[in-house]
Chain A
């Protein structure tokens, strides 16, 4: 049972995440544009751009492919208490936005690596 308390706490702390703070009633009215904008904003904040730049830098084309292929999902607690319409819109927009960020920064990293290699080649030839 050692560590059980903290593991249980950790499981419950899946609730402690920033969520869309909309005043809700039992029949939530979903404005898809607003939900999508919220999802994009949170995806941009969540995705580690430096990490994906590194993936592109060290992995080059393989890294870029990885960045495009990996799906990043929102924290589960952002969907707690949300309507089906909200969930459907939010997940789609979040994933697309996260993928765009991952892909963009992996390309930056890849370009950075290629540029560095070219500089080294030029210096070597001089």
Chain B
């Protein structure tokens, strides 16, 4: 009886379609210049990701198959950007599930592994370019990722932290920092929660009457 009651409660409380929502603040520093973008995000794992930017401009950004959609409600204009290749995301190549496999695919060779307490650090190097990569994992969660040149200069440093446990094996980072030679970027993620996805996220479409600019269909 209690087990059935538990199942009913769980069924009612956990949305059928999993959606992770929250707000983000992205700060970029490049020399003396700075850019701040704020907004909200909605992630339906394996299906969709939608960003709604509030500042400095009201903008929606999402993806559909091989098309990226940018929609500006106040300007009543939208861009549909199609690409023959997947949209590239710098840094994404090395920060994915199974880093070792991806590094191997890019020609990197595993050097060694260091274990200190609950932290495991992996070291890889590329035999031709002499670029070295190291990443740290704590309790199966990536904490940092570093790319160094053959001279030991740090080319890219990525820190991911302050994971929030959302249940059901979902650990969501709330802080991402990227540093390179000439720029630094920080992303703060707040108010993260599991929600029933809003209808406009599930059925995201550009309203009628909006001017659509297509790029990539030329």
Contact = CB atoms under 8 A, between A and B. Distances in A.
* SS of B interface (majority): strand
Contact of A12 (B41, B55, B72, B183): B41
Contact of A6 (B36, B75, B96, B178): B96
Interface stretch (B2-10, B85-93, B111-119): B85-93
Contacts of B34: 21, 23
Interface in A1-22: 1-22
B45 interface: yes
A4 B170 contact: yes
Given A8-B170, A24-B35, A28-B56, A79 B180 contact: no
Given A1-B170, A82-B57, A84-B79, A7 B97 contact: yes
B170 A75 contact: no
A18 to B, nearest CB: 6
Given A8-B20, A71-B83, A80 B26 contact: yes
Contacts of A80: 26, 37, 51, 53, 59, 61
B158 interface: yes
Given A16-B158, A16-B176, A81-B57, A11 B85 contact: no
Interface string B7-47: 00000000000001000101011110111110101010110
Nearest to B169: A1
Contacts of A69: 84
Contact of A77 (B36, B63, B89): B89
Given A16-B90, A21-B183, A80-B37, A4 B45 contact: yes
Nearest to B54: A81
A15 B37 CA distance: 11
B45 A22 contact: no
Interface string A85-106: 0011001100100000000000
Nearest to A88: B213
B142 A6 contact: yes
A20 B57 CA distance: 15
Contact of A5 (B31, B98, B169, B185): B169
A16 B178 contact: yes
Interface in B98-150: 98, 141-142
B171 interface: yes
Q: Which 6 A-B pairs have the closest CB atoms?
A: A21-B30, A81-B37, A1-B169, A21-B33, A3-B97, A6-B97
Interface of A: 1-26, 28, 46, 69-77, 79-84, 87-88, 91-92, 95
13 contacts: A2-B169, A7-B97, A8-B172, A12-B49, A13-B92, A15-B24, A16-B178, A18-B90, A24-B56, A71-B85, A71-B216, A82-B57, A95-B215
